[in-house]
Amino acid sequence: MDDIETPAVIIDESIADRNISAFQKYCSKNGLNLRPHIKTHKLPYFAEKQLAAGAQGITCQKIGEAEVMANAGIGDILITFNIVGAAKLERLRALSDRIERLAVTADNQHTIEGLASAFANSQRPLNILIECDTGAGRCGVQSPEEVVELAKLVSHSPGLSFDGLMTYPPVAGAAAVNDFMNRSVSALKSERIKCNIISSGGSPDMWLAHEQPEATEYRIGTYIYNDRSLVERGVCKFADCALTVLATVVSTPTPTRSIIDAGSKMLTSDLLDLDGYGHVLEHPGIRIASLSEEHGILHHDVDTSLSVGDRISIVPNHVCVVSNMVDTVWIKGRTRELTGLAVAARGLVT
């Protein structure tokens, strides 16, 4: 650890393993299929561990991520995104042809017509989940009536198969999710459309997933590493945070200000409503007050004794965007040895 150059992203494998296992246990106990979102780690290595622990399949946000996971032999993938445009549809079709089971979400006619056209002559239908806006204000249809309309469109499209509903719920959104899903399932029933899957998710409410009895599946990313935002919400403790950024103090201009070699190109500017840009494990009183691109500006008491050359470990506000900043993460194994691992699905922006 002393030899590694900073800044560096370090992942404590024992903690990640424990996190994978704990939430898998919770899902199994509550009859939920777990479908981890790999956007957090972007590593086939951890996706395989999640599947080995009992996950049903994985979630990706980009075709590029899914292609990397398929290359690693992963066969059950849900892409929770409206896939739009000829080039992407062609890649999606090729991906579908080489894995066991592919599903995507859609919330509009244009997207569904594009998918239908790309899969018209497919031997195996593409599974479609209709995305529902249950209050998060991102994608998703606004009403059960729209659900039925799009489910019919899917059902009437050769090459597509209506598989169910998906939502990215608002925080503390169980009641809203249950209400929307109940009404949608009823509306679908009265049209004799069968809904196999109701997919919900989100890390902030992960331990309340059982309050969404309509859901059959839970998608979750951050839980494998955890981060400061989840600690602040009470979802986990700092001891459960597997990913830290190792940084070096490079300047101590005043007794209450020190500068580290990790800035917004490492910790990112994600605040997630928190104060400061991360939590310094060795000195919890330090405030990471601001970031420029390659410098982090620490404000602290005069008696926080930091010297140039000191190294500190930071739990970032939001891990998913941090692991995306580096080509390599360092896995700290049980022997405390570090192994560099290429973040295979990083930078695949399409």
Residues forming contacts to its own copies in the complex (CB under 8 A) are 3, 5-8, 39, 61-62, 81-82, 84-85, 87-88, 107-108, 110-111, 131, 133, 137-142, 248-254, 257, 259, 261, 264-266, 268-271, 292-295, 297, 307-309, 320-321, 324-327, 347, 349-350
Kindly state the smallest distance separating residue 282's Cβ from its own copies, in Å. 17
Is the CB of residue 185 less than 8 Å from the CB of residue 194?
A: no
Is the CB of residue 212 less than 8 Å from the CB of residue 206?
A: no
Whichever of 134 and 212 has its CB closer to its own copies, that residue is 134
Whichever of 91 and 332 has its CB closer to its own copies, that residue is 91
Is the CB of residue 41 less than 8 Å from the CB of residue 47?
A: yes
Whichever of 101 and 257 has its CB closer to its own copies, that residue is 257
CA distances from 275 to 22, 179, 271, 287 (A): 29, 34, 7, 8
Kindly state the smallest distance separating residue 157's Cβ from its own copies, in Å. 16
Kindly state the smallest distance separating residue 138's Cβ from its own copies, in Å. 6
Whichever of 53 and 267 has its CB closer to its own copies, that residue is 267
Is the CB of residue 222 less than 8 Å from the CB of residue 40?
A: yes
| 160-167 vs 126-132, strand pairing mode | parallel
Kindly state the smallest distance separating residue 145's Cβ from its own copies, in Å. 14
Q: How far apart are CA 247 and CA 189, in angstroms?
A: 56
Residue type, 348: L
CA distances from 295 to 252, 260, 266, 292 (A): 12, 6, 9, 5
Whichever of 30 and 264 has its CB closer to its own copies, that residue is 264
Q: How far apart are CA 48 and CA 45, in angstroms?
A: 5
Kindly state the smallest distance separating residue 246's Cβ from its own copies, in Å. 11
Helix residue ranges, H only, 131-259? 144-155, 174-190, 228-232
Whichever of 177 and 259 has its CB closer to its own copies, that residue is 259
Kindly state the smallest distance separating residue 71's Cβ from its own copies, in Å. 17
Phi, psi of 23 (to 5 degrees): -80, -30
Q: How far apart are CA 15 and CA 320, in angstroms?
A: 16
Whichever of 130 and 197 has its CB closer to its own copies, that residue is 130
Kindly state the smallest distance separating residue 110's Cβ from its own copies, in Å. 4
Is the CB of residue 80 less than 8 Å from the CB of residue 166?
A: yes
Whichever of 190 and 254 has its CB closer to its own copies, that residue is 254
Q: Which residue has the tokens 């509903």?
A: 165
Kindly state the smallest distance separating residue 108's Cβ from its own copies, in Å. 5
